[in-house]
């Protein structure tokens, strides 16, 4: 099973544990909009909180590119705050886990 298959299966099943298990212990999520970053524990808390609202929905996901070092994914995500975003995510991989994540997002109009 490719990393993308494992990752997308966890996302679509809303399997929080499986998703968090995909993160390397030295994980970093770079947040370009705010100029901040999050580690694995911070990301885990954010993901868990969003899933617990019952309003987080991965509307679609597709692999753009994958090899043993990187996964590039496109997703449409409905967030608990009512917004929908089109997201391009680049995941750098190490030891079969995500060690670094960077995303670019565009707000999707519901009109």
Question: pLDDT tens digits, the chain, 111 residues: what are they?
Answer: 899 999 999 999 999 999 999 999 999 999 877 889 999 999 999 999 999 999 999 999 999 999 999 999 999 999 999 999 999 999 999 999 999 999 999 999 876
The residues spanned by each domain of the chain are 3-107
What pLDDT, on the 0 to 100 scale, is given for residue 84? 96
- From CA 81, how far away is CA 14, in angstroms rounded? 18
> C-alpha distances in angstroms, 66 versus 55, 82, 88, 90?
29, 30, 13, 10
Beta strands (DSSP E) in 1-111 are: 23-31, 36-39, 57-66, 70-78, 84-94, 97-107
What pLDDT, on the 0 to 100 scale, is given for residue 1? 84
How many other C-beta atoms can be found within 10 angstroms of the C-beta atom of residue 3?
19
What pLDDT, on the 0 to 100 scale, is given for residue 28? 98
What pLDDT, on the 0 to 100 scale, is given for residue 7? 97
What pLDDT, on the 0 to 100 scale, is given for residue 31? 85
What pLDDT, on the 0 to 100 scale, is given for residue 110? 75
- From CA 107, how far away is CA 111, in angstroms rounded? 12
Per-residue b or e along 17-32, where b marks 16 or more CB atoms closer than 10 Å to that residue's CB = eebbebbbeebbbeee
Q: Would you tell me which CATH number, out of the four given (3.20.20.20, 3.30.70.2860, 3.40.1710.10, 3.10.450.50), belongs to the domain 3-107? A: 3.10.450.50
């Amino acid at each position: 099973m490719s990393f993308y298959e494992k990752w997308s299966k966890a996302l679509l099943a809303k399997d929080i544990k499986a998703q968090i298990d995909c993160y390397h212990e030295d994980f970093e999520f770079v947040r370009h909009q705010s100029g901040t970053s999050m580690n694995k524990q911070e990301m885990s808390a954010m993901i868990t909180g969003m899933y617990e609202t019952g309003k987080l929905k991965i509307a679609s996901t597709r692999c753009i590119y994958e090899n043993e070092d990187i996964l590039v994914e496109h997703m449409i995500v409905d967030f608990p705050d009512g917004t929908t975003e089109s997201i391009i995510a680049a995941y750098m991989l190490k030891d079969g886990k995500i060690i670094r994540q960077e995303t670019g997002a565009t707000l999707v109009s519901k009109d």
